[in-house]
């Protein structure tokens, strides 16, 4: 980055907002475990966030309880910004989860703290609600976040299921919160898992295989 | 893409929505002219769309007229999906603009036509409104779309201004619709242009240089 000295010529709150938006650009360089649909490369967190916002817009009719789609989309646009500071913790990598919650809380302090105070507090409240998953909106947002990589894993024929040697039981356990946001989408996920096992892209559970 | 045969086991409208969401993934492979802030590579349109949604959330207080931020964000999430079919036409490349409007209209027919009819029509109406720029919401969405690459060009020290040998007059002319969405953001863009000229990243206008 060459210079943001020009920002000193811009008014205080707007300069703070521009600094935040330029810092947020770093989310384009945070690489996730799963691949994009054409299997050419792994997905970055910025494009993932866009895809999830689109998931919420398209699929909201299937939410378990009525949701405010705008609040869901705000959560999905903001939810992974903390990975700029904390990095991505792949769902199927238990080592990566160690200390991740603390890193993400610190990241939220840093990033949302860059904004004018009232705006930063409002964004932080949206992020906290998503993290705690204690509203219908947050549960549906979480469902979208868990569902999207399942579809992408199936589309590429294995993806993180193969990379992390995941079996059907583990795949279901790590994504079962989809059911808290949408029974319809959880049923769809079950269909995907079953088909992925049939195709040999996801290992059957040991009980089933024995 | 390996197989979407499992979708035949899923109900009609949901299968159509999943096909649309998987097709939309291709936006991650549409490459734009401008670079991301760390100058490591060019930006793709999916991550660009996420960044714009964040711009709208952060900057909406500066809109010229009151806007419905949710409608603005929907426009920004959807506005470039047609590039899956039409490709990106760089702002400073006049050759790329030839036939682009027709290609994008055809792309909109194809993509939004994948969705259940009522949903596809609603998304198409949002996209049409953005394209025609004839509402406060659309004008503010357009302002965000024009402002973001200006900031990124400055951050990387030239970007598409250098690539396309752009002078200050052309840069202003191609982005002046920012003023129709936000006087504050247009004033900020003017500050960025002036600083970029001073830094040697944007050519001065011939009149000024003579």
DSSP state letters, B101-150: HHHHHHHHHHHHTTS-HHHHHHHHHHHHHHHHT-SHHHHHHHHHHHHHHH
Using CB atoms, pick whichever of A1, A28, A157 lies closest to residue B155: A1
> Model confidence at B1, in pLDDT bands (50, 70, 90)?
low
Does residue B157 come out as left (phi exceeding 0), alpha (psi in the -120 to 50 range) or beta? left
User: Distance between terminal CA atoms of chain B?
Assistant: 56
Task: Tell me what ipTM this predicted complex has.
Answer: 0.95
Q: Tell me: pLDDT of A2 over 70.
A: no
CA distance A113 to A101: 18
CA distance B60 to B141: 9
Is B1's CB within 8 Å of A44's CB?
Answer: no
Among B11, B58, B125, which would you mutate to test the A interface (most chain A Cβ atoms within 10 Å of its Cβ)? B58
Average pLDDT rounded to a whole number, residues B171-176: 96
| Closest of B88, B80, B77 to residue B32, by C-alpha | B88
Q: Per residue in B27-55, pLDDT tens?
A: 999 999 999 999 999 999 999 999 999 99
Q: Which residue of A has its CA nearest to B70?
A: A70
- Compute the nearest-CA separation of B98 from chain A (Å): 28
List chain A residues with CB under 8 Å of B184.
14
Q: Which residue of A has its CA nearest to B56?
A: A21
CA distance B130 to B124: 10
List chain B residues with CB under 8 Å of A17.
58-59
pTM: 0.95
Helices (H) and strands (E) in chain B, counts: 13, 2
Six-digit token pair at B88? Answer: 């990106």
Q: Which residue shows structure tokens 């200390």? A: A99
Q: Is A47 on the interface with B (CB under 8 A)?
A: yes
Q: Which residues 144-203 of B have a C-beta within 8 angstroms of A?
A: 148, 151-152, 154-157, 184, 188, 191-192, 195, 199, 201
What does the pLDDT read at residue B47? 98
Is B38's CB within 8 Å of A22's CB?
Answer: no
Q: Strands B31-35 and A42-44, how do they pair?
A: unpaired
Q: Tell me: pLDDT of B3 over 80.
A: no
Torsion of CA B79, A29, A76, B146, to 10 degrees: -30
Q: Per residue in A122-161, pLDDT tens?
A: 999 999 999 999 999 999 999 999 999 999 999 999 999 9
CA distance B68 to B25: 27
CA distance B205 to B210: 9
Q: Per residue in B72-103, pLDDT tens?
A: 999 999 999 999 999 888 888 888 889 999 99
Q: What is the DSSP string of A152-179?
A: HHHHHTSTHHHHTT-BHHHHHHHHTTHH
Residue B167 has φ and ψ, to the nearest 5°, of -105, 170
Q: Per residue in B9-25, pLDDT tens?
A: 777 899 999 999 999 99
Q: Strands A42-44 and A31-35, how do they pair?
A: antiparallel
Q: Is A72 on the interface with B (CB under 8 A)?
A: no
A71-75, A133-137, A174-178, B86-90: least confidently modelled range: B86-90
Does residue A133 come out as left (phi exceeding 0), alpha (psi in the -120 to 50 range) or beta? left
- Compute the nearest-CA separation of A133 from chain B (Å): 22
Using CB atoms, pick whichever of B4, B24, B37 lies closest to residue A22: B37
Using CB atoms, pick whichever of B1, B36, B50 lies closest to residue A50: B50
Q: Is A1 on the interface with B (CB under 8 A)?
A: yes
Q: Is B122 on the interface with A (CB under 8 A)?
A: no
């Amino acid at each position: 980055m060459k210079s943001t000295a020009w920002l000193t010529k811009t008014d205080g709150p707007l300069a703070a907002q521009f600094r935040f938006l330029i810092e947020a650009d770093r989310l384009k360089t945070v690489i996730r475990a799963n691949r994009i649909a054409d299997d050419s490369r792994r997905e970055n967190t910025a494009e993932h966030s866009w895809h999830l916002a689109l998931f919420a817009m398209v699929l909201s009719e299937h939410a378990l309880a009525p949701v405010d789609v705008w609040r869901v989309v705000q959560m999905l646009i903001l939810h992974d910004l903390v990975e700029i500071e904390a990095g991505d913790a792949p769902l199927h990598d238990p080592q990566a989860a160690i200390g991740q919650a603390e890193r993400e809380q610190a990241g939220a302090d840093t990033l949302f703290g860059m904004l004018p105070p009232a705006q930063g507090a409002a964004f932080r409240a949206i992020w906290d609600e998503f993290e705690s998953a204690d509203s219908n909106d947050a549960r549906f947002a979480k469902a979208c976040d868990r569902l999207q990589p399942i579809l992408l894993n199936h589309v590429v024929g294995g993806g993180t299921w193969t990379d992390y040697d995941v079996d059907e039981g583990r795949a279901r356990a790590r994504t079962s919160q989809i059911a808290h946001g949408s029974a319809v989408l959880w049923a769809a996920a079950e269909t995907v898992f079953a088909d992925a096992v049939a195709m040999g892209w996801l290992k059957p559970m040991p009980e089933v295989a024995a």
